[in-house]
Chains A and B, each alone.
Chain A
Amino acid sequence: MKLKKEFLVIKLVLKVAFLLSLFSLTGCASLSIEPWVKPYERQNLADPIMRLSRHPIANMHVAHVLEAREASRGADASGGGGCGCN
């Protein structure tokens, strides 16, 4: 079935995450590629205006409004049944 292929993709994603963790755990990362943005260079990224979850309660409402009216779901940190959309 077509979706079997897609779940193989998920399995692949998990394996990549596993290998990345292994990479970090063994310290291999420090032997080859150094983190190229140092902690003291991250003030722009730490600015509140850069936060995706700047307004978490609003994000939850937006996700709920869309999930109740669109067939797609997932990968946007929302979730759960019940929509009040009969």
Chain B
Amino acid sequence: MLQEGVVVVVIKPTVRLLILWLLSAISTVSEAAVLEADRADVLYHSYEGGGMKIDGPAILLRKKATEAVAFTAYYYVDTISSASVDVLSTASPYSEERNEGQLGAEYLYDKTIMSFNLRQSDEDDFLAQSLSVNVSQDTFGDLTNLSLGFSYGDNEIKRNGDESFLAQSEQYRISAGINQILTRNLTANLRVEAIADEGFLNNPYRTVRFVDTSIPSGVGYQAEIYPQTRNSLATKLSVSYFLPYRAAVFFHYRYFNDSWEIKSTDAELNYRHPIGDEFEIEFKVRYYQQSQAEFYSDLFPYKDAQNYLARDKELSDYDNATFGIGVTYLLPKYLSFENLRSEATLQWDYIDFNYNNFRDPTSDGGVGNESLYGFSANVFRAFVSVNF
């Protein structure tokens, strides 16, 4: 099986590299790296668009136990109320809640940081659990940082209203990265990640539609059928540049492809600019485009038209554009908790989604001739960060 091949391919060199890095850390006598500073973040997030409203709180805590050991905790809630186009065409609006928790530990030895993370995401009909291990090491006069990560996840999928339905899927992730200081103002980061999934990979509620002349509406529906495996590879290049008047510009480019023949690219440009000693503003522009999965169709010619069937709009040919702005206010001491360095941030992203092969079944025009679907979303984040 390709899946097993992937695991063998990644585990053997991973173990060898881990051993080498540990040896390197033990044998190196030089200035040690440091763990990131303690901090606490409390956030409210909101997403509204395409008939969906999702909001909730999130908390991130990070605390060093010693100079060599740190712990992190993360809690996140999505309160979802959905009347999306997928729901309106074949079902009724619904609401649900998703809770996510993460616990992490980091261990620093000289120039090597090892981190371990446990994650659980829980919904009425979806339970996801994962474990990840990452190792990173500074080298070459601390100009270069190498990192390697491995993650295993297990998902349990249910279907509300159908007590007999229970499915599972597994996910393996392996990543490697290099961060390189190029000049006194410029750094670059290259990261590659391979992901292998196996099991039940489709959404148990979604259906495909097909031409059915035997009924008055002219369109019939049947459940989606996805392949049982999916393997993907993503490569991302990030560049950070310090501008001479104390501002920063970031550029990201990612290329992705997978065994379902989806190819995507995204590019993002960020600009961060301080104003005085108290404010920072940030602008973001991002463009994303993807091709459709080989087994996707907006309208199949008849029932059971092929082995695999999908009409999930996230698998169609589409693009989106994001425009974002953020403001951070560095709180003065009299407003800060216990005189700790604190800041408050508000961010707004506007995202415009355009589907090139997904039609809006609620619009006019007749089956297969409806207008192409598109929508926009507003995403807000308001959060307070305390550094201690």
Chain A residues near B (Cβ < 8 Å) = 1-4, 6-11, 13-15, 17-18, 20-25, 29, 34-39, 41-42, 44-45, 47, 49-50, 52, 54-58, 60-62, 64-66, 69-77, 79-84, 86
B27 at the interface (CB under 8 A from A): yes
- B98:A13 contact, CB within 8 angstroms: no
Chain A residues with Cβ below 8 Å from B137 are: 21
- A58:B235 contact, CB within 8 angstroms: no
Among B110-164, those with CB < 8 Å from A are 119, 121-123, 125-128, 130, 132, 137, 139-144, 146, 148, 151, 153, 155
- A14:B14 contact, CB within 8 angstroms: yes
CB distance from A24 to the nearest CB of B (A): 4
CA distance A69 to B259 in the complex (A): 19
- A74:B143 contact, CB within 8 angstroms: no
- A56:B176 contact, CB within 8 angstroms: no
Query: When the two chains form the complex, which single residue of B236, B242, B256, B262 contacts A44, counting CB atoms closer than 8 Å?
Result: B242
Chain B residues with Cβ below 8 Å from A14 are: 10, 13-14, 17, 148, 176
CA distance A6 to B233 in the complex (A): 7
- B41:A57 contact, CB within 8 angstroms: yes
B20 at the interface (CB under 8 A from A): yes
Interface size on B, residues (CB 8 A): 119
Chain A residues with Cβ below 8 Å from B28 are: 25
- A75:B143 contact, CB within 8 angstroms: no
- A75:B153 contact, CB within 8 angstroms: no
CA distance A27 to B236 in the complex (A): 29
Query: When the two chains form the complex, which single residue of B127, B132, B259 contacts A1, counting CB atoms closer than 8 Å?
Result: B259
CB distance from A35 to the nearest CB of B (A): 3
CA distance A79 to B155 in the complex (A): 13
Beyond known contacts A7-B194, A55-B385, A72-B288: 13 more, CB 8 A cutoff: A1-B2, A3-B231, A11-B13, A25-B24, A42-B184, A44-B185, A45-B242, A50-B240, A52-B238, A70-B314, A81-B130, A84-B54, A86-B87
Residue ID in chain A nearest B273 by CB atoms: A49
Residue ID in chain B nearest A64 by CB atoms: B76
CB distance from B117 to the nearest CB of A (A): 9
Given contacts A17-B146, A58-B43, contact A4 B242 (CB under 8 A): no
Proximity bits, B327-362, A CB within 8 Å = 1, else 0: 010000000000000000101010001000000000
Query: When the two chains form the complex, which single residue of A25, A47, A61, A72 contacts B264, counting CB atoms closer than 8 Å?
Result: A72
CA distance A7 to B233 in the complex (A): 8
B6 at the interface (CB under 8 A from A): yes
- A6:B143 contact, CB within 8 angstroms: no
B78 at the interface (CB under 8 A from A): yes
Query: When the two chains form the complex, which single residue of A29, A35, A74 contacts B173, counting CB atoms closer than 8 Å?
Result: A74
7 closest residue pairs by CB, A with B: A35-B141, A82-B121, A81-B128, A74-B234, A74-B193, A24-B139, A72-B256
24 contacts between A and B (CB under 8 A): A2-B259, A7-B233, A13-B176, A24-B24, A24-B140, A25-B27, A25-B28, A29-B141, A42-B184, A44-B185, A47-B242, A55-B328, A55-B347, A57-B58, A57-B385, A60-B58, A60-B76, A65-B349, A71-B314, A73-B232, A75-B175, A80-B128, A86-B87, A86-B203
The prevalent SS among residues of B at the interface is: strand
Residue ID in chain A nearest B62 by CB atoms: A56
Chain B residues with Cβ below 8 Å from A66 are: 288
Proximity bits, B250-284, A CB within 8 Å = 1, else 0: 10001011111010101000001010000010000
Query: When the two chains form the complex, which single residue of A1, A10, A60, A74 contacts B74, counting CB atoms closer than 8 Å?
Result: A60
- B153:A80 contact, CB within 8 angstroms: yes
The prevalent SS among residues of A at the interface is: helix
- B175:A20 contact, CB within 8 angstroms: no
Chain B residues with Cβ below 8 Å from A20 are: 139-140, 144, 146, 178
B64 at the interface (CB under 8 A from A): no
- B314:A80 contact, CB within 8 angstroms: no
Chain A residues with Cβ below 8 Å from B206 are: 86
- A10:B192 contact, CB within 8 angstroms: yes
Given contacts A37-B183, A42-B181, A75-B236, contact A60 B60 (CB under 8 A): yes
- B121:A37 contact, CB within 8 angstroms: no
CA distance A17 to B6 in the complex (A): 18
- A72:B290 contact, CB within 8 angstroms: yes
- A41:B184 contact, CB within 8 angstroms: yes
CA distance A41 to B221 in the complex (A): 64
